[in-house]
Structure 1
Amino acid sequence: MATDFDVIVYGATGYTGRLVAEYIAGAYPEGVRWAMAGRSLSKLEEVRTEMGIGAHVPLFTANADDPASLRAMCARTSVVISTVGPYQLYGSDLIAACAATGTAYVDLCGEPGWMRKMIDAHHEAAKTSGARIVFSCGFDSIPFDLGVLTLQEEAVKRFGRPVPRVKCRVRTMKGGFSGGTAASLKATLAAAAREPSLVPLLASPFALTPGHKGSSQPSGLLPEYDATVESWVAPFVMAPINTKNVHRTNFLLGGRYGDDFVYDEMVVTGLGEMGKAAAEALAKLNPFADNKGPRPGEGPTKEEREAGHYDVLFAGLMPDGTRLDAVVTGDRDPGYGSTSKMLAESALCLVQDVTGEGGIWTPGALMGTELRARLVKNAGMTFTAG
């Protein structure tokens, strides 16, 4: 399908959208046809000037409450990058437009209830049109999705079969969550209050695998001493979305990780009484409980983003106790600096590296090793196994 652009950044005047636009402009000064879109043309012009992006980058308007403008945007590009969330409030018509027009799509979504609704409503239409729709192309859930993929690839090489038990343990993480993440969680809780039927879906690790349930999974809701990593561990706030995406990847890959695959995510807090106390405190902490954090459209300074980083361990255990590890690291804060690079590279991976049939995908299932190679080369991430 011939289009005017490879990529359109939709929501380019927002905080994360600006970072994505800045990254594309700096990393791909030529060779990528791209444009910026949002509700206000004057605001887009202001942002483009402020960020030093050349006037050759086109601007045009598109609005979440104007489906015709969304379809017009889709008709002009190979891939839409959407940073306009919460997606359950502002994203449904864009997914419908992409599915209808065969336009590829990536976002930062961590809203499993909405994602399941979109899967149920548009997966088949996307398959028919050829639209490759990929949710969760940021810190939730690329490091975790591709981390498990990396571990399982190595397991098959070494053992001839996948590892049935994987423990994801976040060892270090410096940098906060975005204002959009907080707004998305609040919107999800509000949706669950309006629709009680969403509650069991949100609680299920298999919420994104329609018609399929695997082995019983750990809840990850309580602090515990983990002998595998010889440390106390605490619940990880992103686990409710990451675990669902990892299981959907396994589902879309035809059960490549096995029908007995068990996976959880927790944060390492340390040894002894101090580690235990830290785990217990973290288990009680709700980082979104007040309004002190950034609001949608707000975020840290450039210096703060560049000072951030993360290190995530994936410990794979075979039935006989043999252990195989993989590690994923990132060189920027997870919620902003690293996420903006992951999102942009995911879109360009769909343009330049990956074909594949239409449908609603995960990064690991559709882009897998190709995306991993891009992130290592361009986005300051590492993936190691051994």
Structure 2
Amino acid sequence: MAEQHQEFDLIVFGATGFTGRLVAEYLHQSGAAGAQWAMAGRSLDKLAAVRDELQLPPSVALLQADAADAVALHALVARTHCVITTVGPYQLHGEPLATACAEGGTDYVDLCGEPLWMARMIDQLTPLAQRSGARIVFSCGFDSIPFDLGVVYLQAEAQQRFGHPLAEVRGRVARVKGTASGGTLASMLETIEAVRREPALLKLMSNPFALTPGFKGPRQPSGQGADFDDWADAWTAPFLMATINTKNVHRSNALRGHPWGQDFVYSEKLLTGRPGEGDKGRRKARTLARLDRLQNLALGFGPTRALLRRFVLAKPGEGPDRAAREAGHYTLWFTGRTAGGETLRAIVKGDRDPGYGSTCKLIGEAALCLLQDVDRRATPGGVWTPGSALGLALVRRLQARAGLSFEIAA
């Protein structure tokens, strides 16, 4: 069981990659809430270079393990209470480590936004984690913590104010400055390749309940195309991460025992203008919707995917500089309505670019929250979402330490 591990509280696996390095830097600068942590990866020399560059103390141990070496990974996870892994795409590199954690009783958090892999892992890892006590938590970055927790926070406020949940919630990206991470784009390309090889997987990708095995809720709104949102008084366009975020929100509801109802409806889109902008917002929404369709067609074309891999995706160790990360930000709206017509809106804000600056704080605090704030009686071994495993405890931690705010709109 995880309680027997004594040597480290936390290991960052993939610390020589760009995002893993940012996680290590954040843990060091934030003090890691007093946790004893280490860095792991394939090369001890590269890990030592990162430790020197970040001016980390010698107490941050360096551990060697390859993502494909199951024996080394089992030995690695036996030394810690929890593993953070930034080594993706997870459908290519993630299964051995996740399995080692599930078998060994070690908690695990990642940045996965790959629903095909997650659906397979939920089936495969759940019985292992339930036996060992390991708590496996996927999607602990920008996809999907701000969205998953935005709904959790709004629903908790609705229960307190109205005495019953919101029957429908609309998540809307009001403002965002920053780019998707290279890892997110690489994961998208691998998912497209998987669907190309096995076209039947397209049905799972389009199913909002793909991560809630044994349960299928009501028909959900389409995230495609341009349309006018009368609750926001603004036009909307498709949002890149809605496919994974929506699945995680519904899984959180299911894992919590459907406190928001089995007929709960959720949608997620990008606002294309301020409320009341009318025709300007409509034109932008339609342009973005057309671009979304063209992008989907282009990504289905093999040479386009090859060009993206060669020229567009960030190479290992690359990403936006500190100034760009710190200049980024995002604002999300979550508007809900009860069956009786009562409405409520929450606004979630992040103070760094979503793909890197905020994500490194999100996953770091998610791991620390799992270690320090979450009772195993409430969250036992299993495969969880951030919203179901960490919930309001992580909301409080992110507001106190990670530059996020969760507020109810006046």
TM-score, with structure 1 as normaliser:
0.97
Structure 1 position 276 matched with structure 2 position 282? yes
Match of 1:122 among 106, 113, 125: 125
Match of 2:82 among 79, 84, 93: 79
Deviant stretches of 4+, over 6 Å: none
CA-CA distance at 1:260 after TM superposition: 1.4
Find the counterpart in structure 1 of residue 18 from structure 2.
Answer: 15
Match of 2:350 among 330, 335, 350: 330
Structure 1 position 151 matched with structure 2 position 157? no
Structure 1 position 373 matched with structure 2 position 396? yes
CA-CA distance at 1:284 after TM superposition: 2.8
Structure 2 unaligned residues grouped into runs of 5+: none
CA-CA distance at 1:346 after TM superposition: 0.6
For 1:284, give the aligned amino acid: R
CA contact (8 A) 2:5 2:78 kept: no
* DSSP 3-state at the match of 2:314: coil
Find the counterpart in structure 2 of residue 240 from structure 1.
Answer: 243
CA-CA distance at 1:272 after TM superposition: 2.3
CA distance in 2, matches of 1:116, 1:200: 13
Find the counterpart in structure 1 of residue 48 from structure 2.
Answer: 45
CA distance in 2, matches of 1:319, 1:94: 43
For 2:100, give the aligned amino acid: A
CA contact (8 A) 2:239 2:269 kept: yes
Find the counterpart in structure 2 of residue 92 from structure 1.
Answer: 95
CA contact (8 A) 2:369 2:390 kept: yes
CA-CA distance at 1:305 after TM superposition: 0.5
Matches within 5 A, 1:1-386: 1-28=4-31, 31-270=34-273, 271-286=277-292, 290=308, 291-354=311-374, 355=376, 356-386=379-409
CA-CA distance at 1:265 after TM superposition: 0.5
CA distance in 1, matches of 2:389, 2:370: 9
For 2:286, give the aligned amino acid: E
CA contact (8 A) 1:6 1:77 kept: yes
* DSSP 3-state at the match of 1:313: strand
CA-CA distance at 1:296 after TM superposition: 4.8
CA-CA distance at 1:302 after TM superposition: 0.4
CA distance in 2, matches of 1:30, 1:7: 11
* DSSP 3-state at the match of 2:345: strand
CA contact (8 A) 2:33 2:368 kept: no
* DSSP 3-state at the match of 2:52: helix
CA contact (8 A) 1:180 1:297 kept: no
CA distance in 1, matches of 2:196, 2:403: 40
CA-CA distance at 1:49 after TM superposition: 0.7
CA-CA distance at 1:29 after TM superposition: 6.5
- Alpha carbons of 1:320 and 1:256: their partners in 2 closer, same or farther (altered >3 Å)? closer
CA distance in 1, matches of 2:32, 2:363: 17
CA distance in 2, matches of 1:202, 1:30: 38
CA distance in 2, matches of 1:141, 1:187: 19
- Alpha carbons of 1:155 and 1:13: their partners in 2 closer, same or farther (altered >3 Å)? same
CA-CA distance at 1:226 after TM superposition: 1.1
CA distance in 2, matches of 1:15, 1:264: 32
CA contact (8 A) 2:186 2:313 kept: no
Aligned length: 386
For 1:239, give the aligned amino acid: A
For 2:351, give the aligned amino acid: D
CA contact (8 A) 2:38 2:60 kept: yes
CA distance in 2, matches of 1:212, 1:7: 34
CA contact (8 A) 2:32 2:368 kept: no
* DSSP 3-state at the match of 1:267: strand
CA-CA distance at 1:30 after TM superposition: 7.3
